A and B are shown apart, each in its own frame.
Chain A
């Protein structure tokens, strides 16, 4: 399996621009998680989906952030408008939730720099 795929790997944009991050989970996985990593706050969960439905978005910083999962093989995280404080590494992870033990597998991340 190719693992979790994220694109782009790097993104540089200017403040106020819209940014869209993309994720393709591992085939057969039914849960998808978006995390953000910064020096100040470490790794923090933004939102997660189960069977394409958002379950917990309490970690989404504010209304500028939105996430969708239109089908089992694709998710997007959008920031509009972007701000310099959004600069971070954004990770997508997927897992299979069968009611018992589950392991999250992470993608390589998208490094976002907002100027």
Chain B
């Protein structure tokens, strides 16, 4: 079985501040991990993914995430928030099963 826990359903940061969105997973096999972003009334867009190799993964729009096996975490960060980053962010895991299991999502608000 696989599962994802996203800590904090709502996160607010000031423009220019660090963004940190937390994701912890469980998987019985080495996981593939993903972050997707959903803008209002739109579909899910892939931000970044971890499959194998380098544990620090860089994605689009300046986001990155680090796979930490010992902590079963895959937190998403961005050094400086921009107003356009306001959206909902979903962490997902793919383990032994082919389908993705999603976290409940974190709504990011960026304050001017």
Contact = CB atoms under 8 A, between A and B. Distances in A.
Interface string B85-112: 0000010000001111011110000000
B98 A91 contact: no
Given A107-B43, A108-B43, A43 B102 contact: yes
Interface string B20-51: 00000000000010101000011111100101
Interface string A15-46: 00000000000000001010000000011110
A42 B104 contact: yes
B102 A108 contact: no
Contacts of A42: 102-105
B100 A45 contact: yes
A31 B98 contact: yes
A109 B34 contact: no
A97 B42 CA distance: 25
Interface stretch (A65-73, A77-85, A98-106): A98-106
Contacts of B46: 103, 105
Nearest to A41: B104
A45 B51 contact: no
Given A91-B43, A106-B43, A106-B45, A43 B98 contact: no
A103 B104 contact: no
A56 interface: yes
A12 interface: no
B51 A104 contact: no
A55 interface: yes
A111 B51 CA distance: 32
A29 B99 CA distance: 15
12 contacts: A4-B43, A31-B98, A33-B99, A42-B102, A42-B103, A43-B102, A56-B98, A56-B99, A97-B98, A103-B46, A103-B49, A106-B44
